Structure 1
Amino acid sequence: MDVASNRSFRARIGRAVLRRLPLAGTLVGLGLAAWLVATNDLAAVASAFGKIGFLGLAGVVLMRVAAIIVCGLAWARLLDGLVPSSAGACLVLRFVREGINVLLPVASVGGDVLGARLLTFWAVPGALAAASVLADMLFQVGTLALFAGVGAALLGQIEGAAAAELAQWTARTLGVAGLLLIGFFALQRTGLVRVLEEKIAALGRRFVREAEVQPEPRPQVQGALDAIWGRGRRGHLAQSFGLHALAWMFGVAEVAIVLACIGDHPVALTEVVVIEALGQAIKAVAFLVPSGLGVQEGGFVLVCGLFGIDGGTALALSLAKRVPDVVLGLPALLIWQNLEARRSGIGPAATPR
């Protein structure tokens, strides 16, 4: 086997492994979910969930709507001034990104990748669309790390070996996450994306016959990132970061609404913050598991147990937080399919209105 064939074979193997990772994550999540169901009282779960009621679930859905809108505005701030008004597109596509991430068997970044492509339907250049999603993801993960840090600090004030152990695990995880975030930021700001673009373009040319090689434009994503992170755009960046930080507070409101409706375990605001912050952190660590299936439930059982909340109530809380995934996710998937159909039907030159 020659060198080119060997590289092609390795590339095919790599793509096959990547395609199967979400499936493997789904199976792991299903196994964890099945174990949680088997080890908890289903009657207690059903009883706790029933106490939430329609109004409680409606409140949870409204909080999720507010969170997604705020995240859409945060994304739009990154593009403000670089393209014609894109706030409407960002709001619509933020719902699509969430719907894909929570309902389809993809890793938790699958919707973000597709969101960049869909943004080009509004005449946003592809390089700028990709760059905006990269910056948006950095702010989303960065604010989650800060939120989890607040949760870990509050948890550290609680007495007990279990609370101390979880706080230490969170601190260690945040240390690793901090290094990854620094690397992700450096990737965007030091020109490494340009190097990667050039390497990918060169690799692509190796598998194309010389007669088929066409002149290629210079890599553009790094230039788009430089435009987003430009010196005169600190206000836009700060607003986007602040909006992402605000969005996590709506998750706190979701937990507070559910636990208030169930009413069996009154909790303080600080405890609600810890439950949501560490629950989200645990879910984020297992990002390869689609929608954190099973991981979210296990995380809530673990964290809620520190405050004397039984497993049935914790699982009911997780189920309530999955209601918006379905209520909002299904229409989002329909919007995505409608956008794709309109794009195919009206040709590449047109954009959605």
Structure 2
Amino acid sequence: MRIVRTTGVLGLLIGIAVLIGLTVWSGTGLVRDAVASIGVGIVLVVLVRAGTASVAAVGWWVLFPPKERPPLATCLSLRFVREGANALLPLGQVGGDLLGARLLTFKGVPGALATASVIVDVLALAVTQALFALTGLAVLIWLGADSSVAWIAAGGLALAVPALVGFWIAQRRGGHKAFGWVLARFRGDWARVVGEKVDRLFRDLSALHASRTRMGASLLLHYLDWMTGVGEVLVAFWFMGHPVSLAEALVIESLMHAIRGAAFAIPGALGAQEGGLIVLCAVFGIPPDQAMALSLVKRVADLATGLPGLVVWQWMEGRRWRERRDVSASRPAG
């Protein structure tokens, strides 16, 4: 855990340094003026972001079997917790998902099912993100833009496919067999207890994967979630006085998220997002200062939607602590 925290903090510091360097290179004054020109449009960008997070929450919620499904409000609030932790804390871009599984147990969802739901949800997000990037790549080629950018994007997608297939196999039989093989080498009650928990987890994973209807609905909603994010690019550049077409916005948004996904070890993909947007926007003749302004406005949306999620997390943790304290206090001494 200490290594993970150290790596996260180091990645955060490097990302901040890159962000500052790119801002200076793009022209600090130009970037400031570009951001200021958006004005009230920033509010609209935040609303679009809140909409995408809400759609993603429904995509998570539909994965649960109807009889074990938590209230939609629970998945909505925890989706914002996941978004906030992934974007704003030095936990990499998966720490918030683990946190979401933990908080889901506070609402009475069994630990195995909570963990399984998040694992399958992350797979659905990853698959639809790849499809979204593929859509952007196809549109980029259709627009006849810079072929070098298209080849780089195609190479990244080709590398992502084996990882997605491996992640899917691990959730099915492969992961269960691997854990069973490792645990069989040990003896003792702890190995038996861990084995039982692993068995429960994979039973729930199998149950979630078994419903093609629920899985299909989740994939459709998550793809819609990614597509909705195109609105952020359209709104930001319209207010900057440099409107882009729907096709151009789709390419910028989709391939930017592919870059963010590749930089998963860096908290919030700091620096990687900015560099990627400068390259992608240059394809359509958009200057670096406006690309940086778009990225900074997206960072504002990260804060505006992420901070309430972190507040919800702390409130839930505090409530849990008080409940445990009250239980302990009510027990007779001795």
TM-score by length of 1: 0.86
5+ residue gaps in structure 2? Answer: 328-334
1:41 paired residue number: 27
2:83 paired residue number: 98
CA distance in 2, matches of 1:87, 1:272: 31
1:4 paired residue number: none
2:203 paired residue number: 223
Structural mapping, 1:228-307, within 5 Å: 228-230=208-210, 233-263=211-241, 265-307=242-284
Structural mapping, 1:114-153, within 5 Å: 114-153=99-138
**Other structure's SS at 2:315 match:** helix
Aligned residues of 1:158 and 1:164 also touching (Cα < 8 A): no
2:139 paired residue number: 154
* Equivalent residue in structure 1 for 2:168, among 182, 185, 206: 185
Any idea what the Cα deviations from partners look like across 1:43-69, whole Å, max 9, x if unmatched?
Answer: 111111111112x11111111111111
Which structure 1 residue ranges, 4+ long, deviate > 4 Å from structure 2? 200-203, 212-215
CA distance in 1, matches of 2:28, 2:3: 36
CA distance in 1, matches of 2:181, 2:121: 23
1:28 aligns with 2:8: no
5+ residue gaps in structure 1? Answer: 1-14
Letter in 2 for 1:168: W
CA distance in 2, matches of 1:248, 1:348: 42
Structural mapping, 1:188-203, within 5 Å: 188-193=171-176, 195-196=178-179, 199=182
Letter in 1 for 2:207: A
* Equivalent residue in structure 1 for 2:287, among 306, 310, 314: 310
CA distance in 1, matches of 2:326, 2:215: 31
CA distance in 1, matches of 2:322, 2:39: 43
Aligned residues of 1:252 and 1:273 also touching (Cα < 8 A): yes
Across the aligned residues of Structure 1 and Structure 2, the Cα RMSD in angstroms comes to: 2.1
Any idea what the Cα deviations from partners look like across 1:228-276, whole Å, max 9, x if unmatched?
Answer: 112xx2111111110000001221001100011111x232111110010
Q: Cα gap change, 1:240/1:348 in structure 2, threshold over 3 Å: closer, same or farther?
A: farther
Aligned residues of 1:191 and 1:222 also touching (Cα < 8 A): no
1:338 paired residue number: 315
CA distance in 2, matches of 1:290, 1:69: 22
CA distance in 1, matches of 2:173, 2:192: 26
Aligned residues of 1:194 and 1:222 also touching (Cα < 8 A): no
How much identity, in percent, do the aligned residues show?
40
Letter in 2 for 1:320: V
CA distance in 2, matches of 1:182, 1:143: 13
TM-score by length of 2: 0.91
**Other structure's SS at 2:68 match:** coil
CA distance in 1, matches of 2:185, 2:66: 33
Any idea what the Cα deviations from partners look like across 1:113-153, whole Å, max 9, x if unmatched?
Answer: 11111111111111111111110000101111011111111
